[in-house]
Amino acid sequence: SQQGEEDPQALSIQEGENATMNCSYKTSINNLQWYRQNSGRGLVHLILIRSNEREKHSGRLRVTLDTSKKSSSLLITASRAADTASYFCAPDSWGKLQFGAGTQVVVTP
């Protein structure tokens, strides 16, 4: 399965702290994407990193990709209460995304 697997399953931090979550996958990919899901809502695309990229930034988000280790990480800096959500990685091969179970992040004020 090409499904991404996130680690940890849950993360609890305080506002202002950084949150890091990891993703592993099994086969070659075209790109890897990260999504956020607020409770009861649809998924929102955060960032896409292509297989020939190693690092990408978007606002307070930093994503790394190591294709030799088949792994990626998502760093959220200076977290806010509004960052409370589930975060999913999704490896993309042949145009189809397969999602893992996600990392549930809780940011307390």
Residues interacting with another protein, by CB under 8 A?
3-4, 30-31, 33, 35, 40-45, 48, 50, 88, 92, 95-102
Return the amino acid letter for 62.
R
CB 22 within 8 A of CB 100: no
Which of residues 84 and 98 has its CB atom nearest to another protein in the complex?
A: 98
Which of residues 76 and 91 has its CB atom nearest to another protein in the complex?
A: 91
Which of residues 18 and 38 has its CB atom nearest to another protein in the complex?
A: 38
Q: Which residues are CB-neighbours of 51 under 8 A, at least 6 positions away?
A: 28, 29, 30, 31, 32, 65, 67
Which of residues 7 and 17 has its CB atom nearest to another protein in the complex?
A: 7
**Distance of closest approach, residue 9 Cβ to another protein, in angstroms:** 9
Q: Residue for token digits 């990392």?
A: 103
Distance CA 24, CA 15 (A): 27
**Distance of closest approach, residue 92 Cβ to another protein, in angstroms:** 6
